[in-house]
Structure 1
């Protein structure tokens, strides 16, 4: 079976593997060279060529939870062997390890990386595009990247819009990692822009437990978004650059809900 980092080489000509009309417009999966790419309404979203920033999104959130200020630092990795109790949304944490909410499944780098780390108690992924979920399931083109993560009992995939989810859910999490756009200033659809507004960030804060971490992936830094995070009441706001194989560095915006 292919590993997440062993997609076979193909000619450089882009080959469309699937094209669908989704609830938010056209969504396309194509192969170019050795990379699989997701295109939404003609806008390049992500590919499988270099997942280091998507993996760092998860690690940066966990590092922030593990910092001295954190009220509930994750236990050691061997805590994964401890018995797990079932979780009821809204009932609070029954497992001492932190709960993770990922906004956006994408090519699956963030999910696969989170599931490989036993320090997460549960991993909930919210994805609004049915096609993307299909591409990861039942031997789909992206399934080599996430089949182990999807089989992990900690993993749950929800087919819904993360903007609506954070507005409506009664569940809470220790970390919220968002990777649904090219950044706060470059959204895939206009509706997504509300998530980075003061009202949207208030919803993000509501689904985070005290001391919880918000991590937002972006293709470029946004000083304006940093200011919006501070004005929304988040603390320890900072931006971390992640070098990538080509082009300018990606970034992760980090912020902590006050304890």
Structure 2
């Protein structure tokens, strides 16, 4: 069986848009769909293992809380949302996505093949907003907050995302969590310094779960709990 990604194939650009934070591109490469932001590869539809672990790890850390509410930072290719919506034990599921193009690719484009059932779920709400600003301004609170908007705390898509992983940004994350709520942050590589920042920001039960990859450094999910 041919691999869904073949370096001999030329990626086909399906859509290219200039958004408020730069250029975003949707490409098809073989069987895969890829999102590129400002020339930086973000994600594709090859696996979704990391995104599923992100959601499941947050759920496990919550324990037996009934119908917990979930905030997902970043719609991406839709793996996190689809996985959460497939689990009836989640309560409300809110997704914050700042790129209108990404939302459109799900509502009216090829990414809808992954997310259509989740978007039709009555628990799901998608907000077009910048996550940093949303967390700073919202009065809503959630039981779990899953962040997957960058390649990690040390490898952000745009410079203005850096503040999210600072003490100030993490304080906003904590305010958006209910007591005992869980923050889960996906990263393409481990970040011991970020663990220290989480502790210093007042989070507890800080730890990291690895996501095995075919080669190289494993992906990780950083987990932390807001004290009750």
1:117 aligned onto 2:117: no
Tell me the distance in 1 between the aligned counterparts of 2:62 and 2:79.
20
Query: How far has the Cα of 1:245 moved from its partner?
Result: 4.0
Moved segments of 4+, more than 4 Å: 8-11
Match of 2:185 in 1: 216
Structure 2, unpaired ranges of 5+: none
1:39 aligned onto 2:39: no
Query: How far has the Cα of 1:248 moved from its partner?
Result: 2.8
Q: Match for 1:177 among 124, 146, 153? A: 146
Tell me the distance in 2 between the aligned counterparts of 1:154 and 1:39.
29
TM-score, normalised relative to structure 1: 0.84
Query: How far has the Cα of 1:249 moved from its partner?
Result: 1.5
Q: Match for 1:29 among 26, 29, 47? A: 26
Give the count of matched residue pairs. 224
1:74 aligned onto 2:65: yes
CA deviations on 1:164-207 (whole Å, 9 max, x unpaired) are 00000000000000000000000000000000000000000000
Secondary structure of the corresponding residue to residue 55 of structure 1: helix
Tell me the distance in 2 between the aligned counterparts of 1:55 and 1:242.
10
CA deviations on 1:42-97 (whole Å, 9 max, x unpaired) are 0000000010001100000000001xxxxxx234xxxxxxxxxxxxxxxxxxxxx1
Correspondence list, 1:43-192, <5 A? 43-66=40-63, 73-75=64-66, 97-138=67-108, 140-192=109-161
- Alignment root-mean-square deviation, CA: 1.3
Match of 1:82 in 2: none
TM-score, normalised relative to structure 2: 0.95
Tell me the distance in 1 between the aligned counterparts of 2:99 and 2:214.
27
CA deviations on 1:181-240 (whole Å, 9 max, x unpaired) are 000000000000000000000000000000000000000010110000000000000011
1:231 aligned onto 2:228: no
Q: Is the 8 A contact 1:241 1:251 kept in 2?
A: yes
